[in-house]
Chain A
Amino acid sequence: MTLKQIAIQNLLRRKGKAVLILVGLVLGIGTVITVISFSDAVTGDINHKLEKYGANILVVPRTENLVLSYGGIQMGGISFDMQELRETDLEAVKHIKNYRNIAAMGPMALGAVRVNDRPVMLAGVDFEAARILKPWWKLDGRKPEAGGILAGAEAARVLGLTVGDTLGLGGHPLAVTGILKPTGSQDDQLLFTTLPTAQAVLDMPGRVSMVEVAALCTACPIEDMVKQISEALPGAKVMAIQQVVKGRMETLAQFKKLSFGVSVIIVLIGSLVVLVTMTGSVRERKEEIGVLRAIGFRKAHVMRIILMEAILIAIAAGIVGYLGSMGATRLALMLLADNVHVALPWNLPLAAGALGMSLVVGVLAAIYPAMKAARMDPNDALRAL
């Protein structure tokens, strides 16, 4: 017979009380975890949807010139007084702290070429990254591979290009494989090809004109990402596209605030259930505690029995609370979320958090009844019976 066995036997004997405490904790912990996992799932879904906004960080070569354009009205030529960005420099971005928050990074080589005696901008892009960076792109034909051209809607109209045409650019024959549907953006004015092809045509081997970045900033402010990329690329100017980013961050902040508020209230209710039930249980066990103290149990021994009971229930509540919350989150997503196919993976850190929170709440709420039990005078306890 040990203190732990006494605690276990008591829980088994007083199943009703134990279940009541368990339910109180499970409701508290389960609701908190449900709110967090629901918020995470919906946040992930929102992030996924926000990806449709494309790039939110621009990386361009550092320059001392001011841009002379506004609202599509160009007042000056292209600035050549700028530092170079090299493809190899971009490797440094892979080592920034929040690299995992980068969904896509698209280097672009830009330069003017002549087609049918008309000047037009040629852009070399990474078409894989473009799927994330420019999700609004829709095209007739197919996306080009090396030696192919994708023409913007306006460029195709002005230059009279159709799929299957071949252009000679800088001595390179390039076949038009697709035409972009109108996007309402500058992309309509451009010819797109693969990055290596553009670098060859524009004679800028290994160099890029700018880089578009789509960053998912659920766990980091966008300013931090900009700072980290700036430090990795000292020769570049890194800018956040503020409107999109701020919109994202505000949406996420709303979810976090809601989660936090609900969590605090529910945890308080759970602790009160544990506190009230365990205090009542201690009162009911006056005789038992009196006997234990009379036969030589120290106050600390009595406290340990009560706290062990709380710990055992808290462990069970943490596990049941997490499992229950996953079910509740699925149900909540089905009932409340627009997209019922939102991913809800098993989350080990969240499970550990549930267990930890359950232990902290359970033990903190059990301290008062444990102290009350320990302070019980054995003579009073036995005489009062």
Chain B
Amino acid sequence: MSTMKGEHLTKQYGHGEAAVTAIDDMTFAIGSGEFVGIMGESGAGKSTLLSIMGAMNAPSAGSLEVEGIDIYSLGQEQRADFRREFLGFVFQSFHLIAYLTLEENVMLPLATIRMPRRRKLAMARHALAAVGLDCKGQRLPHQISGGEKERTAIARAIVNQPPILLADEPTGNLDSRTSREIMRLLQRLKDDGTTVVMVTHSQESARFADRIIQVADGRLKGDVFSRTMSG
């Protein structure tokens, strides 16, 4: 059964002659527990597609169903609730909050949930342990390396165990050794049953995905299994 189904998705910015089409009539389906890589050149529409998948950017046309819910038929606040419950985000620039410790950063998605602090802390520590940072929870973001920041961002994305993880260039700012570590981490999450959708322009990272969706000029140019692509 599909976890995510996009039908004739189109996204245009601007109006009239100045209109730019970022996504042009895309139709796709992503199954539960898949690890999907979205690849393409800069400006191909990868990040726009990911933001549409992330319930943050309403398409100009078409529909997107996630877990059976037509998410753009929901109001803005309901979409916020949806993101909290169903989606985990890993951003390219980490976007950790500088004045919060790693534990506090990881606990952020739980801040609006009524739950004892002890339980929230346990969940955050569990997530940090899952990414190998259980002993650095009290540090601030500026006290850790880039790879650790990325792992913290992943811990924050998985702390409330969402079924879908969306990652935008998760290795974009990392060296190759750290990139491999991060990719293995995402693969492990996929093995645990999380659906992972990752935007990347790195062939190296794409090899870890089960399936690659190729995007060019806002259109779907290919949809193949990674192993087939790599030969």
| SS class, residues of chain B in contact with chain A | helix
A378/B99 contact (C-beta < 8 A), A296-B80, A298-B77 known: no
Task: Kindly state whether residue B76 has any CB partner on chain A within 8 Å.
Answer: yes
A382/B91 contact (C-beta < 8 A), A1-B107, A2-B111, A9-B99 known: yes
What's the least CB distance linking B47 to chain A, in Å?
8
Q: Which residues of B contact A145 (CB under 8 A)?
A: none
Pairwise interchain contact B99-A12, C-beta atoms closer than 8 A: yes
Pairwise interchain contact B89-A295, C-beta atoms closer than 8 A: yes
| SS class, residues of chain A in contact with chain B | helix
Enumerate chain B interface residues (CB-CB to A < 8 A). 47, 51, 54, 56-57, 76-77, 80-85, 87, 89, 91, 93, 95, 97-100, 104, 107-112, 117, 120, 124, 156
Query: Which residues in window 340-385 of A have CB below 8 A to B?
Result: 377-379, 382-383, 385
Pairwise interchain contact A294-B54, C-beta atoms closer than 8 A: yes
Q: Which residues of A contact B111 (CB under 8 A)?
A: 1-3, 5-6, 297, 301
Enumerate chain A interface residues (CB-CB to B < 8 A). 1-3, 5-6, 9-10, 12-14, 287-288, 290-301, 377-379, 382-383, 385
Nearest chain-B residue to A3 (Cβ)?
Answer: B111
Pairwise interchain contact B51-A298, C-beta atoms closer than 8 A: no
Pairwise interchain contact A295-B156, C-beta atoms closer than 8 A: yes
Q: Provide the bound-state CA to CA distance between A185 and B61, in Å.
A: 98
Give which listed residue, B51, B82, B117, contacts A379 with CB less than 8 A.
B51
What's the least CB distance linking B30 to chain A, in Å?
20
Return 28 A-B CB contacts under 8 Å, by A number: A1-B104, A1-B107, A1-B110, A1-B124, A2-B111, A3-B111, A9-B104, A10-B99, A14-B99, A290-B95, A292-B108, A294-B54, A295-B108, A295-B156, A296-B80, A296-B81, A296-B82, A296-B83, A296-B85, A296-B112, A297-B111, A298-B77, A298-B81, A299-B76, A300-B77, A377-B56, A382-B91, A383-B47
Pairwise interchain contact A291-B97, C-beta atoms closer than 8 A: yes
What's the least CB distance linking A200 to chain B, in Å?
81
Nearest chain-A residue to B124 (Cβ)?
Answer: A1
